[in-house]
Every structure is written in C-alpha cells, then in structure tokens.
Amino acid sequence: MSEPSTDSPMYGSLADTLQTLSRIISNVPDADWVPSLVETVQSLDASAPGCARMKGFLVQHGDDSLDSLVQCLAVDWTLAFRGMSPGRGPKPPYAGAWMSDDGTGVELMLAINSCYVAEGLGSSGNHLNRYDYLGVQLEFLAHLFRKAAAAEDAGAQEASLESAGSFRDRFILPWLASYRQQVEERCRTDFWKGYLELVEAVLDDIP
C-alpha cells in the first residue's frame, strides 16, 4: 500500500479554511454570530487576498454598537447572498442562477447533489440552503479535502483531490468571478467584497 502524500497536513488545513468560509456565508449576521465572525476575521493573515478589506471594515466600525455592526453586515449579506432585491443586488450565489438559461437550473442542482450522494452525504447534510448554494459547495469541498488528509494510501488521496478539482471546475469557477464582480458593483459593504475575494483566491489555489 503506497503512502499518502506528505502534503496531507496541508489538505487538512485547506479543509478547515473552506469550512470556515462556508460557515461565514451560510450564517445570518446576528447578535449571536457576529462576535464569533469578528474574532475569526481578526485571526486571519492581513496579507491574504481580501483580508485587509475585511479587517479595514472592522476597524472603521470599531466604535459601533453591536446592533449597529450587525445591521450593517446583515443588510449587504442579505443583498449579496440571498438575492432578495433582484432589481438592485446581484444574482444570488446559486450555480443554477448563473449557469442555466432559466435562472434556476434544476438539472444542475440535481447534478451537484449527485456528487454529494456519491460521497455518502445525502443532500449535503445542509437543508437550509439549495444544493447549489456557494456555502454548501464550499462545505462539500471541505469534506473532500478532509477525506484527502485522512486517506491511508496515495490512490485514495488522489481520488479525493481529483473529485475536489473537478467539482470546483464544473460547478463554481465558471460563474464565481462574474458573481463577485456584481457584488463589487452593487453592494456597499467592503467586508463581503473582501470575503469573496478571499474565497476566489482559496479556490484558485486548490491543487
């Protein structure tokens, strides 16, 4: 049995990063969640793409009350990640909204969910969002890299890495840059613009 790559710790770290990014986009900024969100962002390396923008936003609002900070973050979170104002905000980060002619993409959602099912995850384990939601997709990639890190042989590790790369290339990268551009143009909060810059950079670095 061949040994897994010595890069295994790196894959575990990447899984943790993707899980954190998934958690950030998938949770409504409220009074319970925002303090943890702030703590997470403050722990990030400011030199990483987008992190300086997120940290800068927090510095600018450092004297705000928690309620004021929550409101500021929540307004653009809803606009950017929920598509609640289609005439004003960007299309929401659903692969089907960007990659299908009808703006829904039921067949695409089923194709994405089949990837989850093939990994024994049922409907991804997350019933609060659509299967093709960016946060759910990041969660799935985290699963694949966690599996690669734990692989007992090189073949199993390579299979997980190939699955991750293929999933990213098929279902996220074709639309992510266009979505991020709409957020840059239509949202005001630099925090979420920086967040998406970081997401794109992390995905681009996937082996």
The pLDDT > 70 percentage for the chain reads 92
Tell me if 161 sits within 8 A of 8, measured CB to CB.
Answer: no
pLDDT at 65 over 90: yes
Domain count, the chain: 1
Q: Please give the average per-residue pLDDT across 67-83, as a whole number.
A: 93
**Whole-number pLDDT of residue 1:** 52
Asked, for residue 78, whether it belongs to a domain, the answer is: yes
Give residue 162's pLDDT band: very low, low, confident or very high (50, 70, 90).
very high
Asked, for residue 2, whether it belongs to a domain, the answer is: no
Chain mean pLDDT for the chain:
91
Q: What is the pLDDT of residues 18-41, one digit of tens each?
A: 999 999 999 999 999 999 999 999
Residues 6+ apart with CB under 8 A from 121: 140, 143
Q: Taking the alpha carbons of 64, 70, 75, 77 in that order, is the dihedral positive or negative?
A: positive
CATH number for position 46: 1.10.3480.10
Q: Please give the average per-residue pLDDT across 183-203, as a whole number.
A: 95
Asked, for residue 1, whether it belongs to a domain, the answer is: no
**Whole-number pLDDT of residue 40:** 94
Asked, for residue 3, whether it belongs to a domain, the answer is: no
Whole-structure pTM value = 0.92
pLDDT at 123 over 60: no
